[in-house]
Chain A
C-alpha cells in the first residue's frame, strides 16, 4: 500500500515556522523545452515581445500581491527596464545568437556574480534573477499561458522556488514549502514568513516519490507518506505549538521576565545575521551569543576584515543600545573547517579547538580581532573566547586584542577594546573560575556537560547518561553563578539547557539570572519562567 519512501523523514533548515499536512506536489523549473530560432530580425522581435509580456505579468502579480512582495517584483521590472543590460542582449542577438540563448547567457552571468557574493543578502537575490530568466525563456518557448496547477493546501517541493512562482500559488487554504536547496534569507522565505506559510530549506536529495507529506517548519523536517503513528505525533506537535504560541505571545510582549521578584534577562543566540529577522527576536534583551563560524564556511577561504566587520556591525545596528556578545571563532571539535582546523587529531573534542586554535593561527585570529575592535565603537559590544582552560590563554588573547586596537588607533581607525569574557565549558575553567580576569562569563552547557560526564554528545548510545541535570554539572553551574554574584560580574548560560523547560527551575535555583536562547524558543522560555515565578508547574 505504501511505496519505498513510506515513513522516510528528511531534515533541513527552518525558513518559516508552522505545520502542514497535505498532498506533495513537485515543481520543476520547466525551461527544458526546445525552440527553433528564426532570422536575426525575428529573434530580436521575439525577445522584445517576451520582455514586454514578462513585464506585464510581473506588474500584474505585483498589483495583486502588494506590500513587500510588490517591492521584490519591482526589482525584476527595473532589470527589464535596464537599458545597459537589455541592449547588450539585443547586440548579441544582432550578432546571431538565438533570443533565448542570448538572454540566458546574460542572466546567467548576472546570477553567477550574485552567487559569488560573500553577503548572504546578495546571494539570495540570485533566485530573483533566475525567476526572471526562466519567465522570459518560458514565454520565448511559447509557454506563456501555463500556470502552476497546485491543489489547495499542498506541500510544494522544488529545488528552489522564485518569489513570483510563490505568489502565483494560492496559499489561502494553507500548505507549505519544502525546498531541496534555497536559503532562509531568500525573498521567498521572507514572503513565507510574512504569510505564515511553513517552509523548510536545504533538504538535500529527496526521492521522486510520495503522495502526501508532513512538513514541520519548527523542527525543519519533511516526512513522506507518513504512517498513522507519524501523523499522530505530528498533530501532537502542531497542537502543542499552537497552544504555546497563543499563550506565549502575550507574555513575550511584556517588557521583562522576572522570577520571585528578580529580573531575568533573556538574550538570543544567533548563528548568522539572518537569524535576527525572526519575528520574536525584537523582544530579547540583546544578543547573548553571536556565533561567527558561519564566516568560515565561505568558499573563498577565511573571511577578510571588511566582510567580518559588516556582519558584526549589522548585529550592532540591530541591537541599537542593547548588549551584543560575539564569540570568536569556535572551530574544531565537531566543527572542522578545512584549511583552519588541524587534521588527523585522534580526539578532536580534546584537541586544538576554540581559543586554542585561534592562538595557534594568529594570522586568522588577528583579522577577526581587527573587525571586532572596529565594531566595538558602534555600540555595546562584548567579546568572548571559547574553550578557555587557563587564565594565561585569556591573557594571551587579551594581549593580541590590545595590540590590534593600538595599531588600528595609530592608523587613525576608530577602534576600541570591548569587554572581554570567556565561555565556561571546560570543567577546569568552572572549578578555577576566580582565576580568570574576565569581565563576564557565559556557560556553554553542552560542552561543559559532555566534558564533566565524559560523554561524546554526538554519540547517541550515550544519550541516557548525557544528563545536563546531573548534580556534578549543576554544581559547576552554581559555583560559576556564585562567583559572578560575589564579584559583581555577569554570568549567563547559552547552551541548550536554557531553552529546555525541564532545566529552567534548576538553572534559576543555581543562581543564574541571564539566559540566552534561540529566538524561536524565546516565547516559551519567558512563559515557563512566568509560570515558575507564580508557583505553577511546567504545564
Chain B
C-alpha cells in the first residue's frame, strides 16, 4: 500500500472560467473525475479556511465558488500528480463534455 509517492503533496491553481461558477453540472463533472483517482484530493476557493473533499459533490456545491474565482487543488497518494493536472485541465477548459 505504501508507495514512494505517498506523503508527497502536489498542488495546483486554476481560475474558474465557467459562466455561472461552480454549479451543479461542473460540480458533478469535477467529482466524477476526481473519483477516478486513488489519491486524496482537496480543493478550496483561494484563501478559504477549509479544504473540501473533491470527491463530494454536496461539499463542492456548498463551496459556492463564483465565476472568476481561483480554485486551489492539492492531492496526496500514488496518482496525486496526475490527479492535480487532470482536474486543473478540466476547470481551465471550462468542463468540456468529452472529459467526463
A residues whose Cβ falls under 8 Å from a Cβ of B: 71-72, 74-75, 78-79, 81-85, 110, 113-114, 117, 119, 121-122, 125, 128, 306, 310, 313-314, 317
Are A75 and B57 interface neighbours, CB within 8 A? yes
Cβ contacts under 8 Å, B99 to chain A: none
By beta carbon, the residue of chain B nearest A80 is: B57
Q: A122-B23, A310-B66 are in contact. Are A75 and B31 (CB under 8 A)?
A: no
In the complex, the answer to whether A75 meets B58 with C-beta atoms within 8 Å is no
Chain B 48-100 interface residues, beta-carbon cutoff 8 Å to A:
53, 55-59, 61-62, 64, 66-68
Chain B: how many interface residues by the 8 Å CB criterion?
Answer: 22
| Bound-state Cα–Cα, A499 to B74, Å | 54
When the two chains form their complex, are residues A78 and B28 in contact, meaning their CB atoms are under 8 A apart?
Answer: yes
The answer to whether A310 and B24 have CB atoms under 8 Å apart is no
Closest approach, in angstroms, between the C-beta of B69 and any C-beta of chain A? 10
Separation in Å of the A385 CB from the closest CB of chain B? 27
Q: Interface residues, chain B, CB within 8 Å of chain A? A: 19-21, 23-25, 27-28, 31-32, 53, 55-59, 61-62, 64, 66-68
Hey, which chain B residues are within 8 Å of A128, CB to CB?
A: 24
Q: A71-B25, A75-B25, A85-B56 are in contact. Are A125 and B61 (CB under 8 A)?
A: yes
A84 to B68, CA, bound (A): 27
Q: Please give, as numbers and ranges, the residues of chain A lying within 8 Å of B19 by CB-CB distance.
A: 314, 317
Q: A74-B28, A75-B28, A313-B67 are in contact. Are A82 and B23 (CB under 8 A)?
A: no
A73 to chain B, nearest CB (A): 10
**Contact in complex: B66, A78 (CB < 8 Å):** no
Taking a contact as CB atoms under 8 Å apart, the answer to whether B24 and A82 are in contact is no
Residue numbers in A under 8 Å from B25 (CB-CB): 71, 74-75
Q: In the complex, what residue of chain A is closest to B62 when comparing beta carbons? A: A113
Within 8 Å by CB of A78, from B57, B64, B68, lies B57
- In the complex the two chains form, is A122's CB within 8 Å of B56's CB? no
Chain A residue nearest to B66 (CB atoms) is A310
CB distance from B51 to the nearest CB of A (A): 13
Chain B nearest CB, measured from A379 CB (Å): 13
Partner of B66, one of A75, A110, A113, A306: A306
Q: Which of B31, B61, B68 has the most CB of A within 10 A?
A: B61
Contact of B57 among A79, A122, A317 (CB under 8 A): A79
Give the nearest-CB partner of A106 in chain B.
B58
Question: Distance in Å from the Cβ of A114 to the closest Cβ of chain B?
Answer: 8
